[in-house]
Structure 1
Amino acid sequence: MTNSQLTVDRYVFLPPGVFIARLTGQNRFNISMRNAERLCERFQQGGLGGLVIDYSGCDLGHQPHEFRHVAQVFEENMPKGTKMAYVYRDSQLGHILVITRLLNAAGLKVRGFTEPRAAEDWVFEEMGENRADYGDPRCLDGDAPEQLAPDA
């Protein structure tokens, strides 16, 4: 993608407490770090137990080894027991393999998926819920998804 902006569309199922972030555009290491910190802060407030991060619509502008730093933020700050799913394109497999391995080793339950609905289904199942019992998630951004500057 040539888009220098990153758009994050945020959704939530309350209950049972599943947060979904769909990213579109150019995602860089500094943005991933900041977003990981924000997600951890939000999950620490309570009420959420599942997370789906959908990278399939974005270009990852950082290297798989940089995901070690992102994983460290989640490892140190995400509540234990959080279920996390990553949605990815085939070209992003290296990134997803690194972060899922690191986060699973840290005690979080994490998997990668190529289909968003499969990721949601898995997170709900891991939380003891059935995704089919819940309609559409509530969009947290209304009609204006959050625009993140590439160097913010």
Structure 2
Amino acid sequence: MPNTAFSVERFVFLPVGVFVARLKGPNRFDVSAANARKLCDRFAEGGLNALISDYCDCTLGHQPHEYRQIADVFAAGMPKGMAFAYVYQPEQAAHIMVMTRILNAAGLKVRGFNDPLEAETWIFAQLGADRSAASAPRALDPPQAEG
């Protein structure tokens, strides 16, 4: 029987401070909103400079009007000018288009990618760093079941 639980794997590239969240399984709006607030709190603590949210193994259970609510959490809680990359499946393009439009308008630097390495390369370039010179990201904790 396939695993239908939602979980998040969390990694960080040091010393540049790139936080990577790999979402897996079905993601509900309430869980997504709570995780957005947690991410904003984590960035407010310092030491993190950019974010990659990887939705490739995630099924979004959000309605279009809920995308804006999640974007508003990030727009209010993330540092202006911060680089933020989404990695997504083609069927998630509408979600990513809404999020990138709102977050770019709010002063973040946001792009969507279909390839995780392209997202990492872009994020590192935004920080003036070279992805090819970086080591593998460090796992922050074991995968966390959410919701």
Q: What TM-score, normalized by structure 1, do the two folds share?
A: 0.93
Alignment-mate amino acid for residue 104 of structure 2: N
The runs of 5 or more residues in structure 1 that have no matched partner are: none
Q: Which residue of 2 aligns with 1:85?
A: 85
After TM superposition, give the deviation of residue 79 of structure 1 in Å.
Answer: 1.1
Query: In the aligned structure 2, how far is the partner of 1:80 from the partner of 1:116?
Result: 23
RMSD between superposed Cα atoms in Å? 1.1
The runs of 5 or more residues in structure 2 that have no matched partner are: none
Q: Which residue of 1 aligns with 2:40?
A: 40
The alpha-carbon distance between structure 1 residues 62 and 3, as it changes in their structure 2 partners (threshold 3 A), is farther
SS of the residue corresponding to residue 140 of structure 1 reads strand
**Does the 8 A contact of 1:63 with 1:95 survive in 2?**
no
Q: Which residue of 2 aligns with 1:27?
A: 27
Task: Deviation per CA, 1:13-72: give whole Å up to 9, x if none.
Answer: 121010000011000111110010000001011111110000110100012321100010
Alignment-mate amino acid for residue 56 of structure 2: S
Between 85-94 and 61-70, report the one with greater CA deviation.
Answer: 61-70
Q: What TM-score, normalized by structure 2, do the two folds share?
A: 0.96
The answer to whether the aligner puts 1:104 opposite 2:97 as a matched pair is: no
Matches within 5 A, 1:44-123: 44-123=44-123
Count how many residue pairs are aligned between Structure 1 and Structure 2: 146
After TM superposition, give the deviation of residue 3 of structure 1 in Å.
Answer: 4.5
Q: Please list every run of at least 4 consecutive aligned residues from structure 1 whose deviation after the TM superposition is greater than 3 angstroms.
A: none
Query: In the aligned structure 2, how far is the partner of 1:119 from the partner of 1:129?
Result: 13
Between 25-34 and 3-12, report the one with greater CA deviation.
Answer: 3-12
